[in-house]
A and B are shown apart, each in its own frame.
Chain A
Amino acid sequence: MKPRFENAYVLNVMADDRPGIVAAVSKAVVGAGGNIDACSQTVLSGYFTLIMIVSFPRQLAEGPFLAALMKPDRRESGFQVQIRPFLPEAEAPAVADADNFVVTCFGPDTPGVIYRFSSLLADKGINIVDLYGQLDGDQFVLISQVQIPKKWDLAMLQADLEALGAEQGYTVRVQHENIFIATNQLRLGRHAEQH
């Protein structure tokens, strides 16, 4: 992605969720003469987090900009804000020659579950592109969308993850993303039509 203006930054805002956060943040960006080039927000258990790529025609005076965000009209906004320069080369650490899969884990909640699964994935160079976890009673649901390099034998990887899950009483499944696309979306799935 190429930002609109030359001086681009990554802006990260965290706050208790309430109406008006996006309006407040975008007001500060506009007020500083900037443009929002990309943005994504998530709310988790009442906490709001927002990541944005913003760019400005002139170098940003970070101090006044942060003050405008955190203390607009001399009142505390309650935002936690981080800003750092945007480096285009940091984009797309996509795994070469990989296929998209969904790993789902269901089992009793214990500390360290995500650590153990993610370590196994990291060890094999499997990139997690989306992660969702939710405690439901004493059961934990973990869903990760991952890119698995094609060099790995899928059956072996499934066996490794299932064995890891079994140690902790978890049911683990590795399924190609197309099954989820086919059953939920209007198209049959990426690449599937060509067969």
Chain B
Amino acid sequence: MLRTDEILATIQMLHAEHLDVRTVTLGVNLNDCAGPDVDLICRKIGQKVARYAANLVPACEKVAAKYGVPVTNKRLAISPAATLLAGHGAGAAMAIAQALDAAAAAAGVDLVGGFTAYCEKGIAAADSVLIGSLPEVLSGTERVCASINVASRRAGINMDAVALMGRTILAVAAATADRHGFGCAKLCVFANAPQDNPFMAGAHLGPGEPEAVVNVGVSGPGVVGSALRRKLELEPKLTLGELAEEIKITAFRVTRVGELIGREVAAELGVPFGILDLSLAPTPAVGDSVGEILKILGIDRIGAPGSTAAIALLTDAVKKGGAFASSSVGGLSGAFIPVSEDAALAEAAAKGYLVLEKLEAMTSVCSVGLDMIAIPGDTPPETIAAIIADEMAIGVMNNKTTGVRIIPVPGGKVGQTVAFGGLFGSAPIMEVRNAGASGRFVGFGGRIPAPIQSLNN
């Protein structure tokens, strides 16, 4: 028999603190759709996605109702589209993107990830076609998300790809200038991209994954924040160690919700359950914020000294609670700090407390990188590339995933606020200091070699 206090604690978390399952992402391998005939590729994409995904939304809704836990987003992740583009040109890229867009719409999902290429060591012909098509694809489709892996622990950093992405990001922004460069919100540049990440925009079904698989992203910064606040009201003299313990317990509960829902949705769909990504992913809703947790932990202005230590504590406690709760933890699994998608972070950036350099420092101890950051549209491409290079270096040297999702807002000036709508939120345009001073470094090109694996200090 269940105990009453257990039932009440769960009800509190689910309904008063609005815990949800942030995303159920169905991965589908589309490699067998490849071929010389673009029309046939597109038809096969439609058929294969429909076969696996037709029941995704109803299955999520059925399981959500059974447990009283909403599944906020239902999404698709496909095997890297660069594979489908082998031997094809720019026209095929757009046709395939449109086929994916239509397949996602038919399945009732809002985003499909996997317009992806791996270029950490070199840019193959198909990768180059894919990257070249991004301005057209990300402006001409609604649901398609792209990610490019330009660095890894084993390969180092492909600076040619980094430079190319600097230019590409500006081109994508220009192609979506009417929406403040929104296309860039659907484009991630990664080091050590996870193969099983369910979170957009970086979700894709990497090599080594099953034919189809359900991966789940749980969230819950609001729940963690509430738990800490409640605990501190009862016992204001807690130490940081005790607060970490509370975060751990909450992460355990949140993770369990995700695993229960994920396993059952997978069973409904008849595909294996893959992993659970226990990232704290904020939304623009007030209270559902990682920044808010930093404030509860005593950082009055996010970005002040101590911010990096606080987010390190948070990320580690989340991982520990999650790892104990489930043996299927994967993806990114940490704390996200996407500026536009987190009301408290956006506010701190607008007030000038939180600057790009401090965000970068914070990403060295939390997933996933410089995320949803608006910068002036006249930032030089070499500077954007250098921002990417710095972030990739953090990932490669620390053997972790890092990413960059940065939006140069066309015509935008520092201090203006731009709104991207819905879950993408709104953000102030942040200052890029020393813009234009990294061109020679980026201009060398080539590859920053893979780091040494010993002498770890």
Do the two shown chains form a genuine complex with each other? yes
From A143, A180, A185, A189, residue with most partner B Cβ within 10 Å: A180
**Cβ of A192 and Cβ of B2 under 8 Å apart?**
no
How near does chain B come to A179, taking the closest CB pair, in angstroms?
A: 4
From B2, B4, B257, B266, residue with most partner A Cβ within 10 Å: B2
B1-22 interface code vs A (CB 8 A; 1 in, 0 out): 1111011111101110000000
Q: Does B124 contact A (CB under 8 A)?
A: no
**Cβ of B15 and Cβ of A173 under 8 Å apart?**
yes
**Cβ of B68 and Cβ of A188 under 8 Å apart?**
no
B178-222 interface code vs A (CB 8 A; 1 in, 0 out): 000000000000000000000000000000000000000000000
Q: Does A166 contact B (CB under 8 A)?
A: no
Q: Does B316 contact A (CB under 8 A)?
A: no
How near does chain A come to B393, taking the closest CB pair, in angstroms?
A: 39
Q: Does B88 contact A (CB under 8 A)?
A: no
Within 8 A of A (CB), among B1-56: 1-4, 6-11, 13-15
Q: How many residues of A contact B (CB 8 A)?
A: 28
Q: Does B253 contact A (CB under 8 A)?
A: yes
- C-alpha spacing A95/B235, complex, angstroms: 45
Q: Does B292 contact A (CB under 8 A)?
A: no
- C-alpha spacing A189/B264, complex, angstroms: 12
The size class of the interface chain B forms with chain A is 20 to 34
**Cβ of A181 and Cβ of B2 under 8 Å apart?**
yes
How near does chain A come to B225, taking the closest CB pair, in angstroms?
A: 17
Which applies to chain A's interface (DSSP): helix, strand, loop or mixed?
mixed
| Contact of A184 with B264 at beta-carbon distance under 8 Å, contacts A173-B68, A175-B67, A179-B257 already known | no
Q: Does A158 contact B (CB under 8 A)?
A: yes
* Contact count A vs B, C-beta below 8 Å: 73
Q: Does B299 contact A (CB under 8 A)?
A: no
How near does chain A come to B328, taking the closest CB pair, in angstroms?
A: 10
**Cβ of B256 and Cβ of A188 under 8 Å apart?**
yes
Which of the residues A130, A132, A141, A180 comes within 8 Å of B10, measured between beta carbons?
A180
Which of the residues A104, A154, A155, A192 comes within 8 Å of B7, measured between beta carbons?
A104
**Cβ of A188 and Cβ of B257 under 8 Å apart?**
no
How near does chain A come to B358, taking the closest CB pair, in angstroms?
A: 35
From A173, A176, A182, A188, residue with most partner B Cβ within 10 Å: A182
Q: Which residues of A contact B3 (CB under 8 A)?
A: 184
Q: Does B285 contact A (CB under 8 A)?
A: no
Which of the residues A143, A145, A174, A178 comes within 8 Å of B260, measured between beta carbons?
A178
Give residues in B with beta carbon < 8 Å to A. 1-4, 6-11, 13-15, 65-69, 253, 256-257, 259-260, 263-264, 266-267, 273
Give residues in A with beta carbon < 8 Å to B. 102, 104, 129-130, 132, 141, 143, 145, 154-155, 158, 173-185, 188-189, 192, 195
Q: 6 tightest A-B contacts by CB?
A: A182-B256, A184-B6, A175-B68, A195-B267, A195-B263, A179-B67
25 contacts between A and B (CB under 8 A): A104-B7, A104-B11, A130-B1, A141-B8, A143-B4, A158-B65, A173-B15, A173-B68, A174-B68, A175-B66, A176-B66, A177-B2, A178-B67, A179-B257, A180-B10, A182-B256, A182-B260, A184-B6, A184-B10, A185-B6, A188-B260, A188-B263, A189-B260, A192-B263, A195-B264
